[in-house]
Structure 1
């Protein structure tokens, strides 16, 4: 199945449908095809199905990675027509109806009748890609685990340092972007300080921890607006979060950020050991490959400007769904991806005529702010506070895959939100490796697996 490097592609293997990705859109398509018995191959760089809206709970120790990222192979195992492959699709040959993917160090060519792309999006830095090296993102399980290690490291080092300035910086957190992820993280870090670390580290009080939420727009959670945005800001501020609106981040380094407010032309520096970037998204690289090969237009962030039936460019057998596309300014959220995936599957199965325009069903929007506080909008109905918080938990529990994951999530939520537990926080010290032949001279040399020093942060790995 090699040979994509020479002139005419020799396609040795074919299947009915190739799905690229393993997120909400990909899984929705796969399930629909699987139940209909249509053969398909799903190719993804990871064999996990990531429930991205709950990543912040992995970062703050509420849930474990396995609870929000079950194996997509296990999900589809009962369908004999489903074939899941670990690989990276690097090219599309639309005239040959084939994709080229890398797996096991080799390139393979796989033919298809229909192609569905659902590779999602990664963090956008608006032309300042160097910010990725000195900030924390939250798009992958690796991102969440890295941020969790950093949070624990900061509190652990603040607990032991004798340098008051360093302690202050360790306990300062800056969150850039007041969308759902930014709001959830800002609220949860303050909750951690108040309900977990203050209980277990008696020299650290909640007031010692500073969380600053920075947003370029003039409101928190801009898509909601009105009283829901106002309520969110008030709830955050009551919880101890400093909310800075109408302000841009103009520079970031390893120890802080520079903020600029255009309306007042004021600029100030915030020192912090942890800066979390949650402002904006851009399509993953595969969107660029599809755009080039199919002649599809793109918009800001490299997202594909698909037709109203999710077809891409000049080809009516190539579809793209989810965060990698834009259609009628619909929100880049999981309901859009899932509904898009099911629409495409119905088209492939012939349940709706080819070219049928997609009709989005708005089932509402919601965001959690902190413990017992959330906002929900369903049509003209707007809810805030405890009721909205319960609805948020119920909806997200419903969309978790697998009974076991739901059961564990409920137990973890009870321990974290009703009690003071964070079952998935840990910080381990391991003895440094001693070269062969060396003897232990009695010097205690240890290294930590909690997080690398911020002097040597590794780049953010985006999905």
Structure 2
């Protein structure tokens, strides 16, 4: 790659980063580097279907290297961005073995996304995994199906009941989708597979601080979702906060005041909030940009950071009230940044970013989903069909679309879920896996001297 090219560094291979890289692909005057800590593109909206055994990892993810191989001016690197030097225009990244390397740039695109937020109570994560990564999905799959297996070995009583109780914190789309799928697993998939327990007796508790689930949807659709969940057997607890999570269950406190309640649940899943990843907070700090409580960074109309026209913020990290944290916003933001780079190179003025709302969708259970696009509102079976077409349309790679459709059709025809395998590990064989866990802070803070 020639040094004369404009060097565009994209942090994150999600929707924003991928769409930006593809739009800049094959430009002779641009050199694109995509840095991602997983080196893969993940279709996050379908993570819960991987977690509950409907889809495999391959259905919802694809190697960035494979996806971008046809673009000669785009390279992908495995690493986690940890430090930005805006004066030198360099980013320091960690390899999986936690050695570091440096990448220089002319244009920086921060599309690193958000992570699960526990609102300052990080110890909740040990017992209540979030839903943001493939590791999260596989961990939830392990907890879900293992809970039924353990219950099968226990005599009737409170301990068995706690293993057959599943608590979901958060009544947004992910929480609703998870709760509905767990009940579907219990009532359809596992209904006739056990001898000592009746999986249909499994309780699913959904907790949310609002007065209704799916608050981003119109009230009539939200009401339809609540009724569908209740018909499935999900127990809705609204107007409450989960104030403690432990090995044996959760403590829930009414938002309006009153005595706390404890629920015995050996499987707790957390979908209650998100926050910026550490690198995004670091970017805001070193650039002197303002950020909200969740770490979203204030931007100019063209999505750049004030005073730094070479630094773009894309997707969930954009701190503008009118922009939702959804995949469509990230896609459109990535395309917008690519257009700005192209216009700069062609000597034309940049344009302001304009988000086009393509609607919202949520899956509840087989044959039940919601779709809201402007005045158009669909629910039930029609909403489910529309939901499927929308998600298939934006899946990465033709093979993913074909195999996902085939898997969904098989699931519709039968109650089976074909991707229920999970791992428990081995005490006899030490695991030698690379990890980011020991250093997740800016380099200057983490390794003094």
Q: TM-score when scaled to structure 1?
A: 0.88
What residue number does 1:138 align with?
131
Cα RMSD, aligned residues only: 2.3
Task: Confirm or deny that 1:86 pairs with 2:78.
Answer: yes
**In 1: Cα distance, 2:264 partner to 2:335 partner:** 47
| Residue of 92, 98, 121 corresponding to 1:100 | 92
> Using a 3 Å threshold, how does the CA distance of structure 1 residues 421 and 352 change in structure 2: closer, same or farther?
farther
- The whole-number CA distance in structure 1 between the counterparts of 2:278 and 2:423 is 36
Tell me how far 1:35 sits from its aligned partner: 4.3
Matched with 1:426 is: 421
Cα 1:432–1:47 change in 2 (3 A) is closer
**Secondary structure of residue in 2 paired with 1:130:** helix
Shift, 1:109, TM fit: 2.5
The 10-residue stretch of structure 1 (222-231 or 14-23) with the greater mean CA deviation from structure 2: 14-23
Is this contact kept in 2: 1:416–1:422, CA < 8 A? yes
Give the unaligned 5+ runs of structure 2.
432-436, 441-449
> What is the Cα deviation at residue 14 of structure 1?
8.4
State the distance in 2 between where 1:184 and 1:421 align: 18
SS for the counterpart of 1:305 is: coil
Kept after mapping to 1: 8 A contact 2:138/2:422: no
Q: Which residue pairs with 1:155 in the alignment?
A: 148
Number of positions where the alignment pairs a residue of Structure 1 with one of Structure 2: 428
Contact 1:297 1:313 in 2 (8 A): no
2:434 is matched with none
Summarize the alignment of residues 227-306 of structure 1 with structure 2, pairs less than 5 Å apart.
227-263=220-256, 265-306=258-299
Structure 1 stretch displaced more, 100-109 or 354-363? 100-109
Maintained 8 Å contact 1:232/1:369: yes
Specify which of 148, 172, 195 is matched with residue 165 of structure 2: 172
Residue of 170, 194, 210 corresponding to 1:201? 194
Answer whether contact 1:215 1:244 (CA < 8 A) is retained.
Answer: yes
2:28 equivalent to 1:71: no
Measured after TM superposition, the shift of residue 36 of structure 1 is: 3.4
- SS of the aligned residue for 2:294 comes to helix
TM-score by length of 2: 0.90
Structure 1: segments with no counterpart, 5+ residues: 1-11, 436-448, 450-458
Cα deviation, 1:387-445, whole Å, max 9, x if unaligned, reads: 0001111111111111221122112212223311111112578986499xxxxxxxxxx
8 A Cα contact 2:148 2:199, kept in partner: no
Going from structure 1 to structure 2, the CA distance change for 1:111 and 1:176 (only over 3 Å counts) comes to: same
Partner of 1:314: 307
2:11 pairs with one of 16, 20, 23: 20
Q: Is the 8 A contact 1:308 1:327 kept in 2?
A: no
Please give the alpha-carbon distance, in whole angstroms, between the structure 1 residues aligned to 2:32 and 2:274: 29
Q: Quote how far apart the aligned CAs of 1:107 are.
A: 2.8
CA positional deviation for 1:102 = 2.6
Q: 1:97 to 1:156 in 2, by over 3 A?
A: same
